[in-house]
Structure 1
Amino acid sequence: MPSVSAVPPSAPSSRDSVVAALRAAGCVFAEDEAEMILATARTPAGVAAMVERRVAGLPLELVVGWAEFRGLRIAVAPGVFVPRRRTEFLVEQALRQAPGAAVVVDLCCGSGAVGAALAAALGRVELHAADIDPAAVRCARGNVSAVGGQVHQGDLFDALPGALRGRVGILAANVPYVPSDEIGLLPQEARDHEPLVALDGGTDGLDVLRRVAADAPHWLAPGGCVLVETSRHQAPTAVEVLERNGLTARLTVSEELNAHVVTGVRP
C-alpha cells in the first residue's frame, strides 16, 4: 500500500515522472502501474489526477477503472471486489474439466470477470452471473453483457432462473473464504476498498462454500462441475464438504499463482 504524500507541483505526465512519483509513494510495481495509468488517461491532467489518487492509496484498478483478467479488460468500480490474477487458475481448471460446457454460471460474481473470461474462451455459451451486492451487479452487467450474458441479483442460487436447474455445465463460485477474525489481517487496500460481503466467509471461512455445495448438485448437469477457490489450509476441508454432498472432488494447486481450486463433479 503506498503511503500518503503530496503530488509534486509539476504534475507528472511523462512515463519517467509517473514512475518516479509512484516509486516515491512506495508502489512496488511502479513501472507496470505507470503503463496502465498512461494507457488509460486521455490528457496530462488526467494522468496527474490518477497519480494523485494512487499516491493517496486508492487501489490501482479503481484508479484506472479496470483490471486485466485473462487478457480481458474488466471494468471495476468503487465498492466492488477486484478480480485477482490467481483466480485465472480457476478459469483454467473449469475449461480443462468442461471444455464443451454450454451453460455457465458465475456465482458470487463480483465484477463478472470469471464469467466473462469463461464465455470468451468457450464461444457460444449461455452465461448467467449473480451476486447479492447491488454495486457488484451494476458493475458486472457491463462486463457480462459484452459477452452475451445475463446478471441477476440475489442470495446465491435464489438469484438464478429456475430453468437452469440440472443444466449447468460450469458453476464457478468464487465465494468469500476469509475467516471473520482474519479480515483485519488483509492488505489495507482490501480492507478499506472492498465490500465485507465479498471477503468474510464466516468462522472458518467456509460458511458460503457449504451453502453452495449443498445446492450445487441440484443445478449441475450430469458431469457438470462446481469450482471454488480456497486457501491452502482450508482446501482439505473444502474437498470433504463437496464429497459429503455427493460430488467427486479434487484439489488442484498452482504454486506460481498461490492458487488452490477445489473442483466437484456431479456423477
Structure 2
Amino acid sequence: MPSSTSAFSPASIITRLRAAGCVFAEEEARLLIEAARIPDELDHMVDRRIAGLPLEHILGWVEFSGLRIAVDPGVFVPRRRTEFLVQQAAELTWPGAVVVDLCCGSGAVGAALSAAVPGIELYAADIDPAAVACAARNIGPDGGQALAGDLYRALPERLRGRVDVLVANAPYVPTESIGMMPPEARLHEPLVALDGGLDGMDVQRRVANEASEWLAPGGHLLIETSARQAPETAGILAQNGLWVRTAFSEEMDATIVTGSTRQIRRN
C-alpha cells in the first residue's frame, strides 16, 4: 500500500472520512487500507464510503460474534446488538437441536449459533433471494440450509412440530420511522428487512401466530425487539399460548423476548 506521505495516507483517509461524518473514521480507514490491493482501489472504496455506502457492503463482510460474515451489496447488515439474540438462543440450544433462523438476512445469527453450538440441524429462511444467496455462503460450510420464501412458507413440511429453537430478527421499525433511520440503512438495505408495518409489529405477529405449529414440545421462539416495543412483543407471544420471558442487555442496547411451549425453569 502507499506510504504515509502519499495522498492515500491513513491520515488523509481519516480526514476525508471524518469530514463525511464517519464516527469511527480511524477504524474504518484501517479496514479499508487492509482490504484494498492497489491505491486506485483504495481511493474508489473511500469514495464509496463517503458517498454513504455501508462500510460492510464495501468490504464484503462484517465481524459478528467473533465470525467474519459475508455481506453482499443490498443485504441487511447484522447489528452488534443482535449478538445478544445469539447468546440467548445458545443457552437454549444443544447439539442435534433443530434450529430455524427466520428473516435470516445474511445468515449471521444461524452461523453464529452453529459456531457456538456445533452439531445443530440449521435452516435459515428469508424472502429476499439476495439474502438467501448470502446466507448460503455463511451457513453452508457447517451443513446449514438456506431457503427462500415468506416466513414458514420457506420451510420443508417435515419440520412442522420439530423445531427446537426458532430465532427471528424480524423487521420491527414502524413504517413512519424508516425516514429517520441513518441513510446507509434506509438507502442501501432492503426495505423488507427494515419495515415492520404501521406499529413495527406486523412481521412479529405473523411469526408468533404460527410458531406453535412449528415448535417442538419444549421449543423456544426468540424475537429481537426494542425496549419500547418489548411489552407488546411479549403480549403477542403470550396471546399465542407461549410462556414468555424478556431479557435486556444494557451493554448492547438489545432486547430479546422468548416464548416457549413450556415454562423455562432456571436455577
TM-score normalised to structure 2 length = 0.92
Match for 1:95 among 83, 90, 95?
Answer: 90
What corresponds to 1:37 in structure 2? 32
CA contact (8 A) 2:94 2:120 kept: no
SS of 1:193 mapped into structure 2: coil
Match for 1:54 among 39, 49, 53?
Answer: 49
Match for 1:118 among 113, 119, 127?
Answer: 113
Q: Distance in 1 between matches of 2:94 and 2:26?
A: 36
Deviation, structure 1 residue 246 = 1.1
1:260 aligns with 2:255: yes
CA contact (8 A) 2:96 2:119 kept: no
SS of 2:122 mapped into structure 1: strand
Opposite residue 47 of structure 2, the aligned amino acid is E
Deviation, structure 1 residue 11 = 7.0
What corresponds to 1:69 in structure 2? 64
Change (3 A) 1:128 1:184: same
Change (3 A) 1:45 1:212: same
Cα shift readout 1:88-116 (whole Å, capped 9, x = no counterpart)? 00000111233456111110011110011
Gaps of 5+ in 2: 263-267
What corresponds to 1:107 in structure 2? 102
What corresponds to 2:198 in structure 1? 203
Deviation, structure 1 residue 39 = 2.6
Give the stretch that moved more between structures: 221-230 or 31-40: 31-40
Let me know the Cα RMSD of the aligned residues.
Answer: 1.5
CA contact (8 A) 1:98 1:224 kept: no
SS of 2:142 mapped into structure 1: coil
User: 1:146-185 to 2 correspondence within 5 Å?
Assistant: 146-185=141-180
Deviation, structure 1 residue 257 = 1.3
1:189 aligns with 2:174: no
SS of 2:244 mapped into structure 1: strand
Match for 2:230 among 235, 238, 242?
Answer: 235
What corresponds to 1:3 in structure 2? none
Deviation, structure 1 residue 149 = 0.7
Cα shift readout 1:26-69 (whole Å, capped 9, x = no counterpart)? 21101111222123222232222211111111111111111111
CA contact (8 A) 1:12 1:48 kept: no
Match for 2:125 among 117, 127, 130?
Answer: 130
SS of 1:110 mapped into structure 2: coil
Identity of matched residues, %: 61
1:86 aligns with 2:81: yes
Cα shift readout 1:169-190 (whole Å, capped 9, x = no counterpart)? 2111110111111111111111
Size of the aligned set, in residue pairs, is: 258
SS of 1:80 mapped into structure 2: coil
Change (3 A) 1:239 1:11: farther
Change (3 A) 1:204 1:53: same
1:217 aligns with 2:226: no
SS of 2:91 mapped into structure 1: helix
What corresponds to 2:265 in structure 1? none
Opposite residue 49 of structure 1, the aligned amino acid is H
Deviation, structure 1 residue 226 = 0.8
Change (3 A) 1:11 1:101: farther
Opposite residue 80 of structure 2, the aligned amino acid is R
Gaps of 5+ in 1: 1-9
CA contact (8 A) 1:12 1:47 kept: no
Opposite residue 181 of structure 1, the aligned amino acid is E
CA contact (8 A) 2:95 2:118 kept: no
CA contact (8 A) 2:96 2:121 kept: no
Opposite residue 249 of structure 2, the aligned amino acid is S
CA contact (8 A) 1:170 1:226 kept: yes
Q: Distance in 2 between matches of 1:113 and 1:180?
A: 24
TM-score normalised to structure 1 length = 0.92
